[in-house]
Structure 1
Amino acid sequence: MTKYYIYILLVTTSVFSQKTNYLLKTGDSICLESRNEVFCKAIDFYRKQKYDSCYAYSNRALMIASTNEEKDFFNCIQGYSAFINKFYKKALSNVLKISNRKNYSQVKLYLLGNIYLNQQKYDEAIESIETWIFNDKLDDKFLKKAMLHNLGLAYIHKKEYIKAKEHFNKEFTLIPLKDTLALVRAKMDLANVYYNQYLDNEAIPLFEEAYILAKLFSDIELKQYTSQNMAVVERNRKRYKESVGYYREFIKWKDSINNRDRIWELTERDKKLAVAQKQQEIAVQDEKIKRQKVQRDGLIIGSSGLLLFIGFLGLFYRKLKKKNKLITQQKEDLNVANKTKDYLFSVVSHDLRSPINTIRYQHEELKNHIDNKDLVAIKEATNAAIAVTNSTSHLLNNVLHWSLEQSNQLVFDQKEYALRPMVQHVLHDYTILVEAKSIRIESNLENALVKADKESLKIVLRNLLDNAVKYMNGAGEIKVTTGVKSETEAFISIEDTGVGIPKDRLVKINALKDLSIDKIDRSEGVGLGLILCQTLIKKNNGTLTFDSEVGKGTKITILLPSIPV
């Protein structure tokens, strides 16, 4: 296993508390004495942890800095800002310019150790960190624990496992019993030391302990890394079924992190849209005020300037008409955007309410089972929560793709593609999943050239295959066929032996191809995934149809423009 979790503690919060306070006091003193706006803004952005702005202003400050104190200070905060933004070469350049004066020596060693570790210069990192530890006079166990951790990581990469284990054990002694996050990370570190020496009997129990503790902890990234470690361990042990389970957990947590970030971006975009709409209303009001003023001034001129006034008014009217036309178009665009936003919020508020409440209820049950030490009930509650989370993750993926498509941010590039390798790539991703569910996938893929956007077509295929797996009653079969229907059309057919679709719902699904955003009725129970599929296929100049019979399965046919071979 070569999976290392590099945990590098940053200086922005309580780390280096005394030295950080010294830096802030030094910055305030420089600002007060110089009264230089650039200096003051740089230190203010550093205090507020706005490192992009701090980097820019400290760069300007270095151009005009004259004293050694000023140069050391601004090299320090610019180097740290560059480190936070992962500009490691620039960070190293700044830090090496810091003098070795008493007040800066430890800060310099700390930054050098972390920068070299990120640059994979392990000998230099070890030298800097060990010197820092030897000279450390601070009673800060949290900081010392982090530096011991980084030292252990450097020795792991150098394959000096005895020294790595020594430093991880020292780190372990500094971890409070209540600090579950640090305990999990420490166990993973020690496990990696043993595992890289092929000491599986010592390593695997530590991986398992870290995984169990992470399951009970709220940190999603920690759940992601521990489940990934277990997937690799089980794969190497040739326990493929267990490995698949852990790998699916890893994907679930990874998707949760990505979707969380995407939903946050969508919310921020909606805020900006609301601000833009308000600014537009203010602009319209300002335009009305200006028009009233012009009309009033025109009347004061009197009859002697009547002809001039009429000419001016005509010119103004034409400009105003052009602006009103632009405003009307913008209003229509905003209405479409608002309808899309309202629909997305309807999906999120309606479809997420139930699973979120279910997860909350299951967590309460899980807490009670943990208090009662009922392991069987804990496993059942966890499995139920995983199933609900998987469903919710699939919904969030569809919300993301739908929102990107509606806001024209989904990259759409139609080119000539061969159907067979594209469909084979999607089917390959489902092989392990369907085998675990006793579902067999058969494929008869004749090659055909189509003009389409490959990524949006993959999104459609994944949604349709997800539905086929989801509505399969136990074991079953999915048959995927591609070929040429005519000189101008190629087809993709997905046929399953699932539960089928009732006739009334089948009519609504096939009618989706003619719906626009303002005609969608959420009360009809049509899922966002199928709406997204119809939208993307229509954008690819194709058609999507469903044939189904309850109890006998469903056949889905995609027709796309083909190119003669």
Structure 2
Amino acid sequence: MPTIKPLLLCFLLLTFNVVFSQKQELLELENIISSKTEQFSNDVNFKKSLELLVNEKWDSTLLYTAKILQSDEAVNLELQKYYLFLRGYSLQRKKNNEGAKEVFHKIKNPFALSSHVQSYLGEIALEENNFSKALGIFQKIEKEWDSEVKGISLSNVKHNIGLCFLHLKKLKNAEEYLTNSIELYEKDKDTVELVGAYGDIANLYYEQYKDDLAIPYFIKAYKFSKNVDNFTLKKNTAKNMAVVEENRKDLTAALKYRKEYEKWNDSLNNHNKIWELAQLEKKLAVEKKQVEVDLLTAENNAKVAERNSFFYIVIALVILLLVITFFYRLNVKSKKTILTQKEELDVLNATKDQLFSIVSHDLRSSVNTLKLSNKKVIRNIEKENISEAHQILQHNSTVVSSAYNLLDNLLNWAMLQTKQSYFEIQEIHLHFTVEHVVYNYIPLLEEKQLQFTNSVAKGIKVLADQESLKIILRNLLDNAMKFSEAKDEIKIYTEEINDDSIAIIVEDSGIGMDLKTQEKLLATTITVEKRTHKNIIGSGLGLQLCKSMIQKNKGKLSIQSELGKGTKMIVSLPKPLVNG
């Protein structure tokens, strides 16, 4: 029994085609699509796409369908599926299997040609040697096969299932399906597919060394190939017979088949060369014609250019003038933009430097103070000096509160500078907003023994952003408390300025300030300096934040103060047209 049969698998790679030849398949596919898309019979674009496909112009089909699908014109959802189908089919015929799979998977059910889509995906899986996936697809098609579904042959489905089983080494199943497909092919008298089917089942038996069963099918395949016009089938059947005879040691017969194989191989090569030559001649003829057309066009263009040269020169000069004007304006605009960006960057850098100064100065000072105070607390607790430890902890509480307020102001300042804060100016009941802010300060006011009075009438309204107004009041109240001694008084009240504005006044009877300090506080930059007041920790950031937010609320800030006589912080804000 021979053991070497290396060339008998060529048929297994040649029988993935559907029952019909490509041209027959395209005509059948055209009929199927036309019958399914009668409602789109008046669509010129779809008719053109289908015509390009039937004429095997795959690239033109892809370009045309892509243009339609990407256009702004509304395309019926069902018609979109058919455009995708034409694209997937064209990509498959161009051997772009990855592209074909991607397009076919975009076609969602329900779709009238879903069985055809699955069939083509099965063919692609076979070509990629993904036999398990192909088997699943073709078995599903076999299960759902309907005789009324045109273009999908049950014999071809069974043949492909048999091929999958054969490659998966499930030879018993392969034999069953290949035999069934042969019976159907014989019934349909499909000579071309019979040649392939006979060759496949012959290989099935030959691989199992069942030469008595295999050789008759090889002979049948060879004889049937005589009646087809496919040089590839003729070549491969002759080659298979040569290998069979070589394995049977009949070298004379093997030599005969080898010569026939060479003849058909040469014929196939010659046929391909003739086709290539015809294509080349066609290309040269087209190029020659194009040269003639280009020459005539050039001559005509030269005459037109000569006749209208003056007109073109004028247009060129006008365009040149417009371009110069455009670039001049663009240059001016660019310079303005660069200058604006530089100014903004300078402001941001200044803000960054100021914020770093605040963090490095005040926060570091607060943390260092807490560090030293904690050591004192530990020593006093060890010595059981509870009274002294309590006083230090109270001082630490003040430091922590100041540091927390500084951090809160830093956050709000950063959000304001980076334009991340949300602003909504609306009517606000001022009395209740003051009450809401003061509520959190009641324990601190009592601890410091300060008297507070909210004299804002309940009917007073202002136009402002609610959250930013709270930040303004909180910082002004916090400053009033910082610069007040025990038993001092703090009060908030309003005064009418005119019909459009109202003044909110935060007044304290604390240490006050001189004129130079007032001017410095009203300046536009953050002030970072050491405070002369022994119990005050701050940087001026809170007041700077107040000024920015007051300005954003379309208001104004002013100060009235004298050393030793207290301070009035006056915030002027717009009021509603009707102030109840």
TM-score computed with the length of structure 2 as normaliser: 0.44
Higher gyration radius (CA): 2
